[in-house]
Amino acid sequence: MIPLSWYLILSAILFCLGVFGFLLKRNIITIFMSIELMLNAVNLSFAAFANYWNTHPTKLVDGSNVVPLSGHIFVFFVMVVAAAEAAVGLAIIISVFRTRETLNVDRVNLLKL
């Protein structure tokens, strides 16, 4: 038996590393990969809580039972949204590269004050 908090701490560590990457990396593709890392970290807590509620049945405010498997459904939806996001985001990166000839975010800052 593993404490639930271990999973949540692993998830928090991965999320914070993702935020670090988002703030510190200068390559637009690596920044995008950091976002995927954050999504993965959140997925891990969804799956951990799904398992937790399976063994610890909990009631909602309105008296109905929590459906533990909903956590897995949410992971599924997050993956779908991440896939859609990756397709659109990488297309945007390609079109940015075509016009600016660079992947460095510091050279794509026309909108910055």
Site for other proteins in 14-73 (CB under 8 A): 14, 16-21, 23-27, 29-30, 32-34, 36-37, 40, 43-44, 47-48, 50-52, 54-56, 67-70, 72-73
Residue placing its CB nearer to other proteins in the complex, 14 or 61: 14
Q: State both tokens at 4.
A: 């639930």
C-alpha distance from residue 8 to each of 32, 33, 38, 85, 98 (Å)? 23, 21, 13, 25, 41
* CA 16 – CA 103 distance, rounded (Å): 24
- Residue 79 sits in the site that holds other proteins (CB under 8 A): yes
Residue placing its CB nearer to other proteins in the complex, 49 or 63: 49
